[in-house]
Amino acid sequence: MAEVAPFPLPVPEIHVWVAYLTARCNYACDYCIQKPQMIPGQRRKPWGRYQELTGRQWVDALNAFPVRPEHPLILTGGEPSLHQDFAFIASRLEGYTLDMTSNLTFDIDALAREMRAHGKRFVTSFHTYHPKFARPEQWLEQAERLRDSGIVDQPTFSMVNLQRFPHFRDDEHDANLRRLTELADRRGLLYQFNEFRGTHMGLPYERSQKHAIDCTSAWVNIDPEGNVFNCQYHLTERKHAFGNITAIAACRPLPKMGEFFACQDFGYCDPCHENSGHGAFRDGQGQVFRRTANDARVYLKWMEPAAIRAVAQRYVVQGNADEAEHALLAAIGKERDAGSDGAETWADLGVTLYDIGKKRQSLAALLHAIDGGITRTETVASALLVARELGLLDHAKATILRHVPAQVLARIEAAVAAVRSESLPARS
């Protein structure tokens, strides 16, 4: 009797099975974690075009497996509900504990009818609010409808925590997020903020260099055509597939958890699935390591000075003047490279430096801005206030008078004299 080959996909609880029903998405967030090289302000494009398996193919293939994973099978994308047979797939898989990730743009009532008709439920689901693509009221209505539908035991509603990454936020984003949390609190909807995994080892996911390394993975990734990968990068690049779920008997066995395997692509790892909570890397010296702390500053390299100044202002609002200073200095460097003095940025830097107690540097920056042509009242007043605190008023006035008429300066100085000595400079 011929020996039966062992089932090739690892099934322990620590292994996460993910079925990417589609790579398509109806949103295009610049901080999307589905593909590296996140560039602030640059909307993400779909990460691939596929001849997607039909709903019948997904169901027939997965239902034919002789075993089931201990961890819930995650139906995701892209946006999984864009698959034309999404409800069919979710309601006809047998023996699986199901999870779903979605942006909540699908017809919840239609999915609920299909799931109930076949006695199926999701044990968990994860749904993220995207402030640039959905009104808070609209998303909240969908979240409550799903919560009350009875087809998900434990739905989780979340937002991506971009507090440390103002590079990916603007006023619309922040206003919608505030409104969403306010409404959710008022209406009793539970939500959480998820970590933004945009960097690794202090570097952005820019795919600049590959390294040979040993890796261990806890992922079973199935692409929209049914090909199996244990790495998100290899899935999106369609490299090193182990086989296809429609011919599982011919699939090569995936490495077990804790079993290191050689990889030549370290540095191109996906920011979301790269050992997020599981697995590890091993370098040439035998050192085993995982993810390390994020560094928000790396994203400034791709941004234009005006956008960096907006980031600095958001840092100021957050009370993080140190990061604001770093951002403004980065903007000044870029402006210099482009042949511009960046006087507006120098004015902002002057006020920011004052905020963190660097008064002499603050005065120098403000006077530099005035020398560069920024002579509006608030900038001149700020320079006078700082100069008075430092006992350098005559020096400051000599610089200002090269650009501001004496009578105008006298009016501003009179107003400044009426301000208490502890007053802060006005932000431009």
Domains of the chain, first to last? 16-280 (3.20.20), 303-417 (1.25.40.10)
Task: Provide CB contacts within 8 A for 405, sequence distance 6+.
Answer: none
Q: What proportion of the chain, given as a percentage, has pLDDT over 70? A: 90
Of residues 151 and 287, the one with the higher pLDDT is: 151
Please tell me the predicted confidence (pLDDT) of residue 404.
92
How is the chain split among helix, strand and coil, in percent rounded to 5? 40, 15, 45
For residue 310, give the H/E element and its range: helix 305-317
Please tell me the predicted confidence (pLDDT) of residue 160.
92
Tokens 């206003």 -> residue: 175
Mean pLDDT of 137-147: 97
Q: Give the global pTM.
A: 0.79
3-state secondary structure of 227: strand
Q: Tens digits of per-residue pLDDT, 306-334?
A: 999 999 999 998 899 999 999 999 999 99
Q: Tens digits of per-residue pLDDT, 183-241?
A: 999 999 999 998 787 665 555 556 677 888 888 888 899 999 999 998 888 998 899 99
Whether the per-residue pLDDT at 294 is higher than 60: the answer is no
Please tell me the predicted confidence (pLDDT) of residue 275.
46
Helix-helix angle 406-417:393-400, to 10 degrees: 150
Please tell me the predicted confidence (pLDDT) of residue 203.
59
Q: How confident is the model at residue 44 (pLDDT cuts 50, 70, 90)?
A: confident
Whether the per-residue pLDDT at 276 is higher than 80: the answer is no
Average pLDDT, the chain: 88
**16 touches 75 (CB < 8 A):** no
